[in-house]
A and B are shown apart, each in its own frame.
Chain A
Amino acid sequence: MNLFRSEEHARRWEEFEPRMAAMLHPVQWWADTFATPMFRARARSDFISWMSGDEGAAAFAALRERLTPPRPNVAATVAAVTALSQVDLSMLDGASPDDRTVEQHLMRAWPAAVPIDEVRQWRHTAAAMIVAIPSDPPLDVDAQMWTDARRSAVRDVQAADGWLKRAELGAGDVRLTERLRQMGWQGEPADQPAWTAMEQAARAVLLCRRLSLLV
C-alpha cells in the first residue's frame, strides 16, 4: 500500500503484480477512499462501539465495495460480442495461423480501445472453449483439419497470453505499431497490445466455434 511518483514508477516496482493492476489509482482516488466514514470515525470517543454497530458495518461494507476490483465492462462486452457475431465464420475456411484475414476483418469491426478486463475475459473464454472441445474429432470429421484447428486455437491463446502481459505492463511493440499502422490502425499506441491480445483470443474463440459446429 504504497505511493509512487507516477503509474510508470509503480509498474517499475519489483513487486508490482499485474493481476492487481486494478488497485492502481491516482492519489486523489485513494485520498477519497481514506476519507470515507470508516477512517473519519477514528476521532470519535466511541469508535469501537460505532465500528461494532450498524453504522460501522455499513461503512465497512461501503469501503469493501469501493475496493472491489471493477466488474467486467458490460457495454464493452456487448459491443465486442455484437461485432463478433457479425463476423462471417466462412472467412476461417482454409485460414492458416499466419493468415491476417481474421485480424483485418476484426479490425474493421471493433472499437479501438479495449479494456484489459475484457481482454482477460475473452482469453478465459477461449481457453475454456478449447478445454471443452474434445481432442479427438467426431468420426465423420477430417482428423487433420480438427487437430490443426484445435492446435491453432491453442497457439492463439498462448499468443494472447503474451500480448496480455504486455498490455498489463503498458508495453508496446515497435513492430506491431508499424504493422498496425500499415493496416490503417487509428487507435492509441497504448491500446495496441490489449487489442492484439483480444484479437488473438477472439481468433481462438472463432476456431472453437467452428469445431463445435461439427460435433
Chain B
Amino acid sequence: MKRVALARLVKDRLKAEDLVVCGLGATEAAFKAAGPVGPTYFASDPMGLWPSIALGLALARPDKRVMLLAGDGDLLMNLQVLATIASAPVSNFRIVVFHNGAYSSTGGQRLAGGERLSFATIAKGAGFGWALEATTEEEAGRRLDELFSRAGPALLDVHLEDEPCPPVPAGPWSQVEERTMFMRALLALDGKA
C-alpha cells in the first residue's frame, strides 16, 4: 500500500471536530495530499516528541478525538513514550503508524530493526490494550474502523511500500503562525472565535 492510500483511508474516517497531530516529512506530504479534515497540527523538528504533544492535546481536550499520524522513524526515536501514553487516562487518543521501514525524507536509509520491527508488539509490551498491524489496503480499512470504534489509547501499525519522498519545502507560515491558526481553529470549533 502507498502512504497516500493510507492517508485517504484515515481521512475518510475523520470528522470536522477531530483533532489531528501529523508527523513531518513523508507523513505530512501524504496527509496534505489526502487533505486534512479538521484542525491539524503539523509537526516540525525535533522528531520524537509528537506522541507526547498529541498526548498533551488529548489530555487537554477529552471531549475530542485526537489522532496522531506517526512516521515510523519519528516514533522509533522515542519508544518509551508509549509506556507513558499507555498509563494515561486518554480514551480519546489513537495512533496510526505510517510504517515503510525507511527514513524517506533523508534518502531512504533503512530503520534499525529492519523487517522484524513491529510497533504493535512494542505498544502491547508498553501496556496498550489494543495494538494491531495491517499490511493490505482492505485490512488497513477494516482495522481503522476497529481503531475508531474502541477506546484508546490504541495503535494501528500499517506497513507501507518504501516510496521515496523529497524533503517538504518550507511553506508560507512559520510554526508560531501555524500554532496560532491551530488554536484559533479549535476556538472556532468551540464556537468561541
Co-complex (A, B)? no
What residues of chain B have their CB less than 8 Å away from a CB belonging to chain A?
Answer: none
